[in-house]
Amino acid sequence: MNDTWLDKVSWAADGLVPAIAQDEGTGCVLMMAWMNREAFNLTVQTGEATYWSRSRKKLWHKGEESGNIQRVKEIRLDCDGDVVLLKVEQDGGIACHTGRASCFFSRLEQGKWVEIDPVLKAPNEIYQKKS
C-alpha cells in the first residue's frame, strides 16, 4: 500500500498525532491515545487499533493484555490534519484500563470530579499477572 496518505497527517514535533477512539454504534468517546507513523500504518494494515505508548516508549496493540481489542471500522482526519478519529467496535465493551466502557468516566460537578460510570470488570480480573 502506498503510504502517501500518512504524509497528509500533521505530525507533532515528537512524531505523534492524537487519536480518539469512538464507539461506532453509540458515538461514545472511548479514549484518546497517541499514534506514530508505524502505529497508524499497523492500524490500517490489521484493522485493529495500535497506538504508541509514551510511558512505555513502544507500540501498544489495544487489547494485547486485556483482550479488549478495538476493531477499526472507519478512520477520519480532522480539518487541520492533526487529530485522528477511529470509529471502532470495542471488544468486551471495555476501553479503559480501570474496567469502564470509556476513559471519560469523570464529570466536573460543582468544582469536584465525580465518577459517573460504573466499573464493568475489576482491573485485576482484566489484567492477569503473567508468570
Q: Is the pLDDT of residue 84 over 80?
A: yes
Q: Is the pLDDT of residue 2 over 70?
A: no
Does any domain span residue 20?
A: yes
Give the range of the structural domain holding residue 53, as residue numbers without chain letter: 4-93
Give the confidence band of 129 by pLDDT, cuts at 50, 70, 90. Answer: low
Q: Is the pLDDT of residue 118 over 70?
A: yes
Does any domain span residue 25?
A: yes
For residue 70, CA distances in Å to 20, 67, 78, 86, 124 come to 12, 9, 20, 9, 20
Does any domain span residue 115?
A: no
pLDDT in tens, 34-43: 999 999 999 9
Does any domain span residue 128?
A: no
Does any domain span residue 30?
A: yes
Give the confidence band of 131 by pLDDT, cuts at 50, 70, 90. Answer: very low
At residue 127, the pLDDT reads 82
Does any domain span residue 75?
A: yes
Does any domain span residue 116?
A: no
Q: What is the mean pLDDT of residues 94-104?
A: 95
Cα 16 from Cα 94, distance rounded (Å): 25
Give the N- to C-terminal CA distance of the chain in Å, as an integer: 39
Overall number of domains in the chain: 1
Cα 11 from Cα 83, distance rounded (Å): 9
Q: Is the pLDDT of residue 71 over 70?
A: yes
Does any domain span residue 59?
A: yes
Give the confidence band of 103 by pLDDT, cuts at 50, 70, 90. Answer: very high
Give the confidence band of 1 by pLDDT, cuts at 50, 70, 90. Answer: low
CATH number for the domain that contains residue 80: 3.10.20.810
